[in-house]
Chain A
Amino acid sequence: GAVVSQHPSWVICKSGTSVKIECRSLDFQATTMFWYRQFPKQSLMLMATSNEGSKATYEQGVEKDKFLINHASLTLSTLTVTSAHPEDSSFYICSAPRPGGYGYTFGSGTRLTVV
């Protein structure tokens, strides 16, 4: 139980275009979704926290106008990378607290390559 489905698994886009990543909670209601970014050979770094029906909270140094997060329903949170540039190429992963308050479930990640 507590499955988060993340799509797409990988995407290649041209510099200047926008890319949307979706995370859906399949069998539970995710009121909170965490978005992480992982550069090669580095750790997962929290980008932002989204809560259903309210504005996302961004970590220091993350451009909120560039990384648009929408959490309009209890089962869907999206991250849109706007005007993507090669330096945005990374592995993006969403995660939600498991129902019951113990542990977290992760999406399978999205490998973004901007060319």
Chain B
Amino acid sequence: QQQVKQSPQSLIVQKGGISIINCAYENTAFDYFPWYQQFPGKGPALLIAIRPDVSEKKEGRFTISFNKSAKQFSLHIMDSQPGDSATYFCAASISGYALNFGKGTSLLVTP
């Protein structure tokens, strides 16, 4: 059973545009919500993470929006660049326990 549902599966955005990826979860005990970026042949790299007591967190061009009541969170990539083309995974966990990953979103930023 997929505990974290991610959409869309793939996304094409023009350079300079905003990329938005959404995730939904069911387990209200989750208290850690990270986003990972993965390039082919590499392991996942943490982009940004949020706790459920915060509704938004911004780091550079990356922003997480968190809606606790809707059990949803999203990643916004502002001013998307071709170098952002990668696969993005959302995840959720209870701290100290294993991460539950979404299925991933393949992002392509066109020049």
Which residues does A use to contact B, with CB under 8 Å? 32, 34, 42-46, 49, 93, 95, 97, 101-104, 106-109, 111
Q: Is the CB of A109 within 8 A of B43?
A: yes
**A-B pairs under 8 A by CB, number:** 45
- In addition to A97-B96, A103-B46, A103-B49, 17 A-B residue pairs with Cβ atoms within 8 Å of each other are A32-B96, A34-B99, A42-B104, A43-B102, A44-B44, A44-B99, A45-B101, A46-B98, A46-B99, A49-B98, A93-B43, A103-B32, A104-B99, A106-B44, A108-B43, A109-B42, A109-B43
CB nearest to B102 among chain A residues? A43
Q: How far is the CB of B17 from chain A (nearest CB, A)?
A: 24
Contacts of A101 in B (CB 8 A): 95-96
Given contacts A103-B34, A106-B44, contact A43 B89 (CB under 8 A): yes
Q: How far is the CB of A3 from chain B (nearest CB, A)?
A: 13
Which residues does B use to contact A, with CB under 8 Å? 32, 34, 41-44, 46, 49, 89, 93, 95-96, 98-104
Contacts of B34 in A (CB 8 A): 103-104
> Interface of chain A, helix or strand or loop or mixed?
strand
C-alpha spacing A101/B95, complex, angstroms: 6
